[in-house]
Amino acid sequence: MNKCWQAVLGIGLLLFIATPGVRHAMEKSMWCHMLVQFPLWMGAAALLAGGMPARICKVIARWNMYGISGLLITGVTLAVLMIPRVLDQALLHPKMELAKLTALVLAGMALRLSWRPAGLILQFFFLGNMLPMMGVVGWLYTESPLRLCNAYLLDDQIQLGNWLIGLAAVIAIVWLSWITWRITYQETRQTSHREM
Amino acid sequence: MIRTVITSVLIILLGWSAASWLTYDFQIWTDEDARRLEVALHPVEISPVQIEGPDLAETDLPTLLRQENVVTIADFIYTRCQAVCPSLGSIFQQIQTALLNDAGNERPRNVRLLSISFDRKHDDPPALRAYADNLSARPELWRFVRVLQAKQEQALLQQLGVVVIPDGRGDYEHNAALLVFDGAGRMVRVFDIEEHQLALDYARHLARKQIQETSL
């Protein structure tokens, strides 16, 4: 997909999910709030980042060697947004909602701009921190006898916990399969080169 | 590389301060705990809300709470509730028994109980009276009221940080808790329903302190 289209699609998607109707629908349940709204906003922002002019990307890259700053932005943002208080606050105060959504956009853009420069080792380090965190938070959500958010039901919280653990596992499997595929693919290509 | 290092340090500092701001220096993680901490630090004044109940002429909540030297432990209920309210009811029964015993001892006698219904439409005074009789509530110690206007009810719930959500099975879920009001009608503490003994002890302590202060 070319840059222009990515930017247009990103902006379009952002505008769509920012409309009050869609926003409220996504915030109706706790698992939807964290596992549909968060990835959608980050995804739209990632598309937008993909459509950024090369000139700006170059300037950003100077501050983002090996994608370290960017992955930090994503990691720190997600860690903060997983504090249960954030969900309640975002529902109660428009300012907090705005801050939450801005942070998600930043995190999505940062992830897109940093993933490739990071390379395998840093990607592994990033996922090695993020996925266990997701798993632990998910486990806390399923095991807590108390409601952690006043705005959501206990069943909903348990569901979110299970989904978080599941999602962490899926991301880990997908990334590992991709790595395995890439490495074997490269090796076969190299060996076939030698044979020729 | 130096640029990346600077940015990274800044990001970590920013994230750290955001998290520490959200969690009051990593003391609390949920909004409910934040609310309890905030109330303990800054008592909450409530705006006038018209209420009525059995044996109670129409009045407003601050006036009811602001009786001299009286400390009130309040909870939010609705009479059709099947989930958490019965346990709130039995906790209030236990507190009432303790308060009745206090009269014989040298404990302060100015602690009162108040159950506020948030099911305005259904819980009229007769319904509240039936509910109170069922729990053998003593009207001189334990009152039941409902808020008259929907708008004021919303405002009250918001001021007190009570969030009511339908649970999809015809019931409501709410952050059930024991709210302690001082003689000036301000909410001064919020206790978990598990901590009812603590709530009672705190209310007694506050009641005694208020009597001493006025007698001085």
* Beta pairing partners, B178: B191
B81 annotated to bind ligand: yes
3-class DSSP state for residue B165? strand
Cα–Cα distance, A84 to B47 (Å, whole number): 29
**Domain ranges across chain B:** 2-36, 43-215
Pairing of strands B71-77, B164-166: unpaired
| B215, pLDDT greater than 70 | yes
| B148, pLDDT greater than 70 | yes
pLDDT band at A1 (very low <50, low <70, confident <90, very high): low
CB contact under 8 A, B23 and A152: no
Tokens 């932005």 sit on residue: A73
Distance from CA of A192 to the nearest CA of B (A): 38
Q: What is the mean pLDDT of residues B67-83?
A: 84
* Predicted local confidence at residue B67, as pLDDT: 77
Chain-centre distance of CA A152, in angstroms?
Answer: 22
pLDDT band at A194 (very low <50, low <70, confident <90, very high): low
Q: What was the ipTM of the complex prediction?
A: 0.85
Alpha helices in chain B (DSSP H): 2-22, 31-41, 61-65, 85-104, 125-134, 150-160, 196-215
Cα–Cα distance, A179 to A124 (Å, whole number): 10
Residues A169-196 as b/e (b if ≥16 CB within 10 A, e otherwise) read: eeebeebeeeeeeeeeeeeeeeeeeeee
Q: Does A82 touch chain B (CB under 8 A)?
A: no
Distance from CA of B10 to the nearest CA of A (A): 9
CB contact under 8 A, B19 and A62: no
| A196, pLDDT greater than 70 | no
* Predicted local confidence at residue A26, as pLDDT: 92
B74 annotated to bind ligand: no
pLDDT band at B53 (very low <50, low <70, confident <90, very high): confident
Which residue did the predictor score with more confidence, A44 or B56?
Answer: A44
- Run of H or E including B191: strand B187-192
A111-123 pLDDT per residue, tens? 999 999 998 999 9
Pairing of strands B164-166, B56-60: unpaired
Residues of B in contact with A102 (CB under 8 A): none
Residue of B nearest to A77 (CA): B15
Q: Does A35 touch chain B (CB under 8 A)?
A: no
pLDDT band at B174 (very low <50, low <70, confident <90, very high): confident
Residue A32 burial by Cβ neighbours in a 10 Å radius (0-12, 13-18, 19+) = middle
Which residue did the predictor score with more confidence, B141 or B68?
Answer: B141
Choose the closest CB to A72 out of B1, B8, B34. Answer: B8
* Predicted local confidence at residue A158, as pLDDT: 95
| B84, pLDDT greater than 80 | no
Reported CATH class of domain B43-215: alpha beta
CA angle A115, A129, A127 (to 5 degrees): 35
Report whether B81 contacts B167 (CB < 8 A). no
